[in-house]
Chains A and B, each alone.
Chain A
Amino acid sequence: MDHVTIPVVDPGSAEGVLSLLWLVIALPLAGAAVLLVGGPLAGARAKGAMDRWGPWLACTAVGWSFLLSLAMFFALLGHDAEERQVGQHLFTWFEAGSLHVGMDLLYDQLSALFLLLITGVGFLIHVYSVGYMAHDARRLRFFGYLNLFVAAMLVLVLSANFLGLFLGWEGVGLASYLLIGFWQHKHSAAAAAKKAFVINRVGDIGLSLAVAVMFATFGTTDFTTISAVAGEASQGTLNALGLLLLLAACGKSAQVPLQAWLLDAMEGPTPVSALIHAATMVTAGVYLITRSNFIYEHTPLAQTAVVVVATVTLLWGAILGCAKDDIKKALAGSTMSQIGYMMLAAGLGPAGYPFAIFHLLTHGFFKANMFLGAGSVMHGMDDDVDMRHYGALRTYMPVTFLTFAMGYLAIIGFPLFSGFWSKDKIIETALAENTVVGLCALLGAGITGFYMTRLMLMTFFGDKRWEPGVHPHESPQVMTIPLIVLAALSVLGGVMIIGSWIVGWLEPVTGHAVHPEPPIAPILVTLLVVAVVAVGVAAAWFLIGRRDIPREAPAEVSFATRAARSDLYGDAINDVLVVQPGMGLARGLTTFDRAGVDGVVEGGSAAVGGISGTLRRVQNGFVRSYALSLLGGALLVVLALLAVNLG
C-alpha cells in the first residue's frame, strides 16, 4: 500500500445546473418546515386540506430533489474526469480569529451516487408511506420528520468539511430518534428511541473529538486542505483520528461494540426502518470512512481496526438474523451484517472503497425493497411481526412475494442479481488481502443464505399459521409500485460494475488501487461463494423447509440459539460493562453529594444558626447592660490603641 497516491480534493466552482446544488437540500428542508410548523398552526379547514395533501407535498419535495440530482449526475457525466469535483460556497458559518468555517458544499463522484440513492430510494419510500401511514392521525408530523431526515442526510453527504458533515450527522440522529419513537405511546418504542439516541451519542463523541483534533492539527476541517496535508501530521495524531472516526462510524452504522440499538430501532414505522435503518442513515459510517480515505491511507493501525470491527459485525449480525422470529429484527440483523461487509471493504483501502460503495448502493435497493415488503406483509397481517404466525402468503400477496423474492435473490448473491456482484467483489478483495478475513466473509455469505431462506420459507411458504381473524390481502398500488421499482433495481443494480464502471468513476475520490495478487483466480472465488451460499440455502431447506414450524418458539433449544435470540448477550454485556458501573458511579456521586457536599453546606448553616441562637440572648432589653458592653468595647479600643502606640 506504500505507493498509493492519495487524491487531493480540489473542487472547481459550480456552473449551470450544478449551481442548483443547494436546492437539493433546501427542498426537503422547506417541506419539513411547512409540515412541522404549518401543521400545528393550521386552522380546522386548512388542517383537513393539509392532512390530505401534506404527504404528497413531502413526496413532491423529495421527488424534485431526485430529479435535480439526476440532472446534476448527468451534468457531471458530461464533465472530464478531472473536473468532476464541484464546490459551492453558501455562506460563512462562523469566523473567529484564524478559525474560518464556511457552509460549503462539495459535489463529486461519491456524493453524486449518494444523492441519487438518498433522494431516489427516499422518494419511493415517501410514496410507499402515503399508503402505509394513511390511517395514522399524526401522519403530517411523520412526513415532516421524513423530509427533515432527507435534508439532514443530504447535508451529511454534501458538506465540504467535517463540521458540516457533523451537522448532518446530528441531524439524521435526531430524525432517527424522532421516527423510532414515533409511536411514543408504546413504551417499547419510546425506550428504543432513547437507546438508539444514547448509543449514537457515544459514536458522536468520536466524531466531535475527531473534528476538534482536526482543528488543533490542521486549523481547518475542509476536505480540500486536509486531503493535501494529512500526511504531514504525526503518526499518533493520524492513528487517533482514524480510530475516532471509526468510533463514530460504529455508532451510526451499528457496528460491534455499538450495535445494540439497531434491532430495537425496528420499533419505528416500517418505512422508517427501510429508509433510515437499512438504506441510508446506517450506511453513513461507510460514507464517513470512504470520505476520510486521505486519513486512513496514512494509518494502517486504524485500517486494521476497521477490518476487525467489520468482520466481527458481519458474523454477529448474520447470527442474530438466524434466530429472530420477528421479521423486522431478522432483517435488521441482516442489515448489520451487510454493513459489516461494506465496512470490511472500506477498511481494505483503495482496492475496497469502490466495492464498499457499490455494495452500499445495491444493499440500499434490495434491503429497502425487503423492508417495504415486510411492511406490506405486516399491513396484511394486522401488524403482526412474528414470522411463526405467517406462512403460505405467496398466493395471497403475489406482488409482495415476487418483489420480496427479487430482494432475497439479490441479498444471498444469486448469480447475476445485484448482490451477487457486490458481495462477490468484497469477498474477492478480502481474500486477496487476508485469508482469515476473507474466509470469515465467505462464511458470512453462507449464513446470509441460511437466514434469508429461513425468512422466506417461514413467511411465504409452508402451512398457514395465522392468528384467528386475520385475512391477508395485497397492499394498495401506492405501496406495491415502489416495491416493483425497488425490485427492478435489486435485480439490475449490478450494471454499475459492467466494465468496472464504478471503480473508474470513484477512482478520483478514493485513489487508484494497487490490487494485490489474489491467492486464487477470481472465477474460482465466485464459484466458491455461490457454492457456500448454496450450502446455506440447502441447510435452511433441510432444517426449516421440510419440517412443520411450531407457532410458539421452542423453549428447549441449544445454547447457541438461546444466545442468538438474546442478541448474543449484547445488552447483557453493555449492562455489565457500562450500565452497572455507570449506575454505581451515579449512586456513589449521589451519596457523596448528599453526605459530603450537602453535609458541609447544611452543617455550616446549622452551626451558624445555633451560634446565633445563643448569641442573641445577649440582647436582653436592659439598657444598662448595653451601656456596660459599650464601655467594655471602648476600653478595649483604648487599650489596643495604647498597646500599639507604646509597643
Chain B
Amino acid sequence: MTQYVVLSAILFTIGCVGVLTRRNAIVVFMCVELMLNACNLAFVAFAKQHGNLDGQVAAFFVMVVAAAEVVVGLAIIMTIFRTRRSASVDDASLLKY
C-alpha cells in the first residue's frame, strides 16, 4: 500500500519539477500528464485500501478530462509553433500587465 502512495508522490514531484523548470511546451505538457497520472495512481490505491469504487470512478473522470485537455492543449501548441516557429513557453509572454 505504502509503496503505491510513495510512487505516486515521486511521480507527482517529478511532474511538478518538470513543469516549473522546463521551457519546451511539449515537455511541460507531458509533465502535467505525469502529475495527473500520479493523482490517478493515488486515487486507485486509496480505492483499493478502502474497498469502494469512489477513487476508481474519480480516476476515470481525470482520464477523460486529461484526454480533452490534450486535444485542446496540443492544438494550441501546434498553432503557436506554426506562427512563431518556437515551442518555448517563455517566448509566449505577451499577455501581461
Contact = CB atoms under 8 A, between A and B. Distances in A.
Nearest to A627: B19
A621 B19 contact: no
Chain A's interface size range is 10 to 19
A622 B20 contact: no
Interface string B58-97: 0000000000000000000000000000000110111111
Interface in A612-647: 616-617, 619-624, 627-628, 631
Contact of B20 (A617, A619, A621, A631): A631
Nearest to B25: A623
Nearest to B22: A624
Contact of B19 (A617, A620, A622, A624): A624
Contacts of A627: 19-20
B96 A621 contact: yes
A621 B16 contact: no
B20 A628 contact: yes
A491 to B, nearest CB: 95
B31 to A, nearest CB: 10
B90 A622 contact: yes
A621 B94 contact: yes
Contact of A619 (B19, B28, B96): B96
Contacts of A617: 97
A627 B92 CA distance: 15
A338 B28 CA distance: 102
Contacts of B19: 624, 627
Contact of B93 (A616, A622, A628, A631): A622
A631 B90 contact: no
A616 B96 CA distance: 9
**Contact-size category for B:** 10 to 19
Nearest to B32: A627
Contacts of A620: 93, 96-97
Contacts of A621: 93-96
Contacts of B23: 624
Contact of A616 (B16, B92, B94, B97): B97
A623 B20 contact: no
A631 B28 CA distance: 15
A619 B94 CA distance: 11
A619 B16 CA distance: 21
B1 to A, nearest CB: 21
Contacts of B89: 622-624
A619 B96 CA distance: 6
A619 B97 CA distance: 6
Contact of B90 (A616, A624, A628): A624
A620 B89 CA distance: 13
Nearest to B93: A621
Contacts of B20: 624, 627-628, 631
A495 B76 CA distance: 110
Contacts of A628: 20
Residue with the highest number of chain B CB atoms closer than 10 Å, among A616, A617, A623: A623
A621 B96 CA distance: 5
A489 B21 CA distance: 112
Contacts of A631: 16, 20
A617 B96 CA distance: 8
A631 B31 CA distance: 14
Contacts of A623: 28, 89-90, 92-93
A138 B55 CA distance: 92
A628 B28 CA distance: 13
Nearest to B16: A631
A435 B59 CA distance: 111
Interface in A590-624: 616-617, 619-624
B29 to A, nearest CB: 11
Contacts of B95: 621
Contacts of B93: 620-623
Contacts of B16: 631
A518 B39 CA distance: 115
A115 B41 CA distance: 103
Contacts of A616: 97
A431 B5 CA distance: 115
A616 B95 CA distance: 12
A631 B19 CA distance: 11
A631 B96 CA distance: 20
Nearest to A624: B20
B91 to A, nearest CB: 10
Nearest to A615: B97
Interface string A464-479: 0000000000000000
Interface string B1-40: 0000000000000001001110100001000000000000
Name, among A616, A624, A631, the residue most crowded by chain B CB atoms within 10 Å (CB to CB).
A624
Contacts of A624: 19-21, 23, 89-90
22 contacts: A617-B97, A619-B96, A619-B97, A620-B93, A621-B93, A621-B94, A621-B95, A621-B96, A622-B89, A622-B93, A623-B28, A623-B89, A623-B90, A623-B92, A623-B93, A624-B19, A624-B21, A624-B23, A624-B89, A624-B90, A627-B19, A628-B20
Considering the complex of A and B, which 4 residue pairs feature the smallest CB-CB distances, nearest first? A621-B96, A621-B93, A616-B97, A623-B89
Given A620-B96, A624-B90, 10 more contacts: A619-B96, A620-B93, A620-B97, A622-B93, A623-B28, A623-B89, A623-B90, A624-B19, A628-B20, A631-B20
